[in-house]
């Protein structure tokens, strides 16, 4: 494995993150802080506890997942789309860098950024509400799996997109609705039976549920099922990327 190439790609992507400090770091943290002010403070103070957890604390795992998923997809997709857009993808493809090394460099940087943002959101949340982490190891596992999986998914979107509109259409029209309907702001036990059944077809539910279990020991879905679900999605993304590089689909366009 060409570790020098991976390191170069990784450092370049991380440097780009710091160059866009206000957009990449400050903006997500500020937006999430507003969620805590509105939902955790103004609305949460008027809501009953959920499973013995205050509403402000209950939404913390969901907000962290929401931020990580959206940022991992955004960074992962733009990282590979931009070389296609400006034409430098040909330099990457002609360099002595394998497909695996290319993916590790770009996805590794995107996942690192997503995990860092997740931890920043967690630290920000602690300023607004009391937080308990009952299972820190499980929390770390979900953080890493979510960051890597959705960075890979974003990488696929970046290869598929042929313009900036397509780069945004899946995150905005598909991923965001799934996040909001995935139990980030409520427990599905609060829904009528029919909508509880429908919610189980939402893959984001398993991420939010498992991550929330690592904080408070309560979940809408068994944590083992949540881990299987995210692992299956991770495997699907790896297979898709393998097929893309094997066939060369949309890599140069």
pLDDT number for residue 191: 83
Q: Residues 42-90: pLDDT tens digits? A: 665 666 777 778 888 888 899 899 989 999 999 999 999 988 888 888 8
Question: Cα torsion for 204, 116, 152, 9, to the nearest 10°?
Answer: 170
pLDDT over threshold 90, residue 251: no
pLDDT number for residue 42: 61
Token digits of residue 54: 């205050």
pLDDT over threshold 70, residue 253: no
28 within domain boundaries = yes
Phi-psi region of 250 (alpha: psi -120 to 50; beta: other; left: phi over 0): left
47 within domain boundaries = no
187 within domain boundaries = yes
82 within domain boundaries = yes
pLDDT number for residue 41: 62
74 within domain boundaries = yes
252 within domain boundaries = no
Provide the number of structural domains found in the chain: 1
**Which residues constitute the domain of residue 32?**
3-39+52-247
pLDDT over threshold 70, residue 130: yes
pTM of the shown model: 0.90
Q: Residues 197-236: pLDDT tens digits? A: 888 888 899 999 999 999 998 888 999 999 999 999 999 9
81 within domain boundaries = yes
């Amino acid at each position: 494995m060409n570790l020098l190439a991976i390191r170069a790609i990784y450092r370049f992507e991380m440097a780009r993150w710091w160059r866009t400090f206000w957009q990449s770091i400050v903006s997500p943290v500020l937006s999430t802080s507003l969620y805590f002010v509105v939902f955790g403070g103004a609305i949460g103070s008027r809501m009953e506890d959920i499973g013995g957890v205050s509403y402000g604390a209950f939404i913390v795992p969901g907000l962290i997942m929401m931020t990580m998923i959206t940022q991992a997809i955004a960074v992962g997709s733009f990282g590979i789309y931009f070389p296609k857009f400006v034409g430098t993808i040909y330099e990457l493809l002609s360099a002595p860098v394998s497909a695996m090394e290319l993916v590790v460099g770009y996805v590794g940087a995107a996942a690192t950024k997503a995990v860092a943002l997740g931890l920043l959101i967690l630290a920000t949340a602690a300023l607004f509400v009391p937080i308990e982490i009952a299972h820190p190891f499980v929390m770390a596992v979900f953080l890493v799996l979510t960051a890597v999986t959705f960075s890979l998914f974003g990488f696929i979107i970046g290869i598929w997109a042929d313009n900036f509109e397509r780069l945004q259409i899946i995150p905005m029209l598909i991923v965001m609705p799934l996040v909001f309907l995935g139990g980030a702001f409520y427990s599905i036990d609060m829904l009528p039976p029919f909508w509880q059944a429908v919610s189980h077809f939402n893959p984001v539910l398993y991420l939010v549920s498992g991550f929330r279990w690592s904080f408070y020991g309560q979940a809408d879905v068994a944590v083992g099922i949540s881990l299987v679900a995210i692992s299956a999605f991770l495997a699907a993304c790896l297979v898709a990327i393998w097929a893309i590089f094997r066939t060369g689909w949309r890599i140069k366009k």
